[in-house]
Amino acid sequence: MAKDFSLMENSNNSTNPSIHDVSDPARRLFMRGGVALAAGGLFSGLSGCASMGMPGAPLISFKGIPIGTQDRIVVPEGYTAQTMAPWGDPIGLAGNMPAFKGDATNTAAEQEAQIGMHHDGIHYFPLAEGAEANKRGLLVMNHEYTDDGLLHADGMKTWNADKVKKAQAAHGVSVIEVRETAGNWEVIRPSRFARRFTANTPMTIAGPAAGHAMMRTAADATGTRSLGTLNNCGSGITPWGTYLTCEENFIGYFSGGDTLSEHERRWGLRKGGSGYRWHEHDERFDATKNPNEPNRFGWIVEIDPMDPTAAPIKRTAMGRAAHEGATVAVTKSGHAVVYSGEDARFEYIYKFVSERKIRPATATQTAAQANRNLLDDGILYVAKFNEDGTGTWLPLIHGIGKLTSANGFRDQGDVVIRARQASDALGATKMDRPEWIDIDKQGWVYCTLTNNSNRAGANQPTIDAANPRANNTMGNIIRWKDTGDFDGDTFRWNHFVLAGDPQNSRADAKGNIKGDMFACPDGLWTDARGVLWIQTDMSTSNMGKDDLARMGHNAMLAADVTTGEIRRFLTGPAGCEITGATGTPDGKTMFINIQHPGESPSERSNPDAPTAVSSWPFNSRPRSATVAIRRKDGAVVGT
């Protein structure tokens, strides 16, 4: 029944640089990969790019590596991979630097001063100018969730309020200061920038949902002040130097009642949640007692890492979703455009266009201060991918189209809080789990659609041109180019690649990769040279089995978006996913995260399950960690 999409796929690699070429350096630097931004200030050029590769040299020239089967990081010949900042190390608060205990007996209070668990999105913010920018900076990183089997000395065999507090303290975001000396990176302790944001950190709610009736709780009658951030998965950065952390699968932390409202069902609330068991000791997560508390999660949260006193702000104008990440582009006219996918089966891809233009720093204000509320006003759109390779951005504006009071949408706050229902009403395209998004130098916007095995299921949406596989075990990368500029309300699209195994006998699992095979793409990062780095997240329960039998461990690959070639660069330890990527402005250090090494599929439901599938990184209890990758000769990574 599969349609013939060969025409579309053939057009994958015919990128025409003359169309909507992002050739203006002042524009390019706003791209996620335009690391010169942070090094040189808001409107400076792309310093250092000329030194980042010989003209005419191939974009990727490292020797690719085989699939991974070892319990360690493998990188190409001539590269080093240094593990740093593992879960549980102190972040460097002056006078409060508790050491990690290998038997996991650290307390909740100690965990609040230590690096969180399950590292995910990450970004490097330089702390110096010029060459020093490459040697001293902040790493800001997300901690998606906790593996309570590893977080506590006896796992989940017993359960109590202290364990809930420790799990909450291991969530959120860490800010650490790092320095490179002779090719070696270390965490600076203490540092005045060191900071943890946890599931209990006070946050401000801004934008159209702030103060809304659906955001008010017994603890916060104003609906403008919430506690904590959860399930922080992918991330983004703004041109004004702030970090965007994204609340992904937040609903699993809440327990619903025996009967659920239509709103609760649409957002996946269940009695008991998905196994975190916080509601048993913290009523905030019992939605039968605090029915509006889940509405206070699912947002993109803005953090200014350079100002240790600044409160994180939930930016509700960008909509509520299981946000995987947030990727910012800038239009020629200077408006910010934020793309974000919602990683859940049959959910959506969004973009937000700011009403106001980005302002430069002034003598009295940093760029972050000058653009403090820029993300609070603008238009949120949801994507509709048409069968003919065109697409439309459908505006989520109260009073327009079907989003009227007559149809049950009370105001704009209601529209952004119930963004899924609003997108349903508009007929947006239900995607195969949109994960990270990034943008190439020609303005193509890439989004990983990690997998979806349910499209063949009863009463489920069937295949469509953008999601062409009924049993999509392998995932794909879709891309689009907006008409005119990033704020265009239409686009054209194609699949950059369908992931798969060329030897698989199932047509839907072969894929069309030019180069090394992979499955379940998740993380995406365009570096300053334009290499598209692809990170995989095959789930532990499927890894090494069925369609994934020949795939080995999760991996990171480099793609040349002009030729379409994809080459395997790194493979991870057992039971991990590879996620998050960033680098120094000179491209000579790349930082990535290893999440949940040693994950065992049945851990959460079965506290006696073995967790010994990995002992990475220190031949003991597995710990998520950051990895700094460099070339031994000190040249740019990937060349």
The residue ranges that bind ligand FEO (CB under 6 A) are 144, 233, 248, 324, 343, 435, 522
Between residues 347 and 376, which has the closer beta carbon with respect to ligand FEO?
Answer: 347
Answer with the entry of ligand FEO, Ca ion, none that 248 interacts with (C-beta below 5 to 8 A by kind): ligand FEO
Work out how close the CB of 266 gets to ligand FEO at its nearest, in angstroms, rounded to a whole number. 19
Work out how close the CB of 247 gets to Ca ion at its nearest, in angstroms, rounded to a whole number. 13
Q: Which among 279-287, 298-306, 478-486, 519-527 is the span making contact with Ca ion, rule CB under 5 A?
A: 519-527
Work out how close the CB of 629 gets to ligand FEO at its nearest, in angstroms, rounded to a whole number. 21
How do beta strands 202-206 and 313-315 pair?
A: parallel
Between residues 241 and 325, which has the closer beta carbon with respect to ligand FEO?
Answer: 325
* 346-to-203, 341, 480 alpha-carbon distances in Å: 30, 11, 19
Answer with the entry of ligand FEO, Ca ion, none that 180 interacts with (C-beta below 5 to 8 A by kind): none
Tell me the site size for Ca ion, rule CB under 5 A: 3
Phi-psi region of 192 (alpha: psi -120 to 50; beta: other; left: phi over 0): alpha
Alpha helices in 387-484 (DSSP H): 412-417, 419-426
Task: Please give the Cα distance from 497 to 511 (Å, whole number).
Answer: 8
Largest CA distance in the chain: 66
Q: Which residues of 100-133 are buried (b: 16+ CB within 10 A; e: fewer)?
A: beeebebebebbbbbbbbbbbbbbbbbbeeeeeb
Work out how close the CB of 539 gets to ligand FEO at its nearest, in angstroms, rounded to a whole number. 10
Between residues 15 and 142, which has the closer beta carbon with respect to Ca ion?
Answer: 142
Between residues 248 and 599, which has the closer beta carbon with respect to ligand FEO?
Answer: 248
Amino acid at 426: L
Work out how close the CB of 285 gets to Ca ion at its nearest, in angstroms, rounded to a whole number. 20
Work out how close the CB of 537 gets to ligand FEO at its nearest, in angstroms, rounded to a whole number. 6
Between residues 40 and 236, which has the closer beta carbon with respect to Ca ion?
Answer: 236
Task: Please give the Cα distance from 320 to 318 (Å, whole number).
Answer: 7
Between residues 46 and 233, which has the closer beta carbon with respect to ligand FEO?
Answer: 233
Q: Which residues are registered as beta bridge partners of 255?
A: 270, 286
Q: Which among 17-25, 82-90, 92-100, 521-529 is the span making contact with Ca ion, rule CB under 5 A?
A: 521-529
Work out how close the CB of 485 gets to Ca ion at its nearest, in angstroms, rounded to a whole number. 28
Three-state DSSP class for 333?
A: coil
Task: Please give the Cα distance from 578 to 492 (Å, whole number).
Answer: 30
Work out how close the CB of 262 gets to ligand FEO at its nearest, in angstroms, rounded to a whole number. 25
Write down the number of H helices and E strands in the chain.
11, 31
Between residues 195 and 323, which has the closer beta carbon with respect to ligand FEO?
Answer: 323
Between residues 325 and 638, which has the closer beta carbon with respect to ligand FEO?
Answer: 325
Q: Residue 336 has which token pair?
A: 């910010």
Task: Tell me if 522 contacts Ca ion by CB under 5 A.
Answer: yes
Candidate list 148, 527, 537, 586; residue touching Ca ion; CB under 5 A: 537
Q: Determine contact, residues 447/479, Cβ cutoff 8 Å.
A: yes
Q: Which among 100-108, 275-283, 531-539, 542-550 is the span making contact with Ca ion, rule CB under 5 A?
A: 531-539
Task: Please give the Cα distance from 156 to 360 (Å, whole number).
Answer: 50
Q: Interface with Ca ion by CB under 5 A: which residues?
A: 233, 522, 537
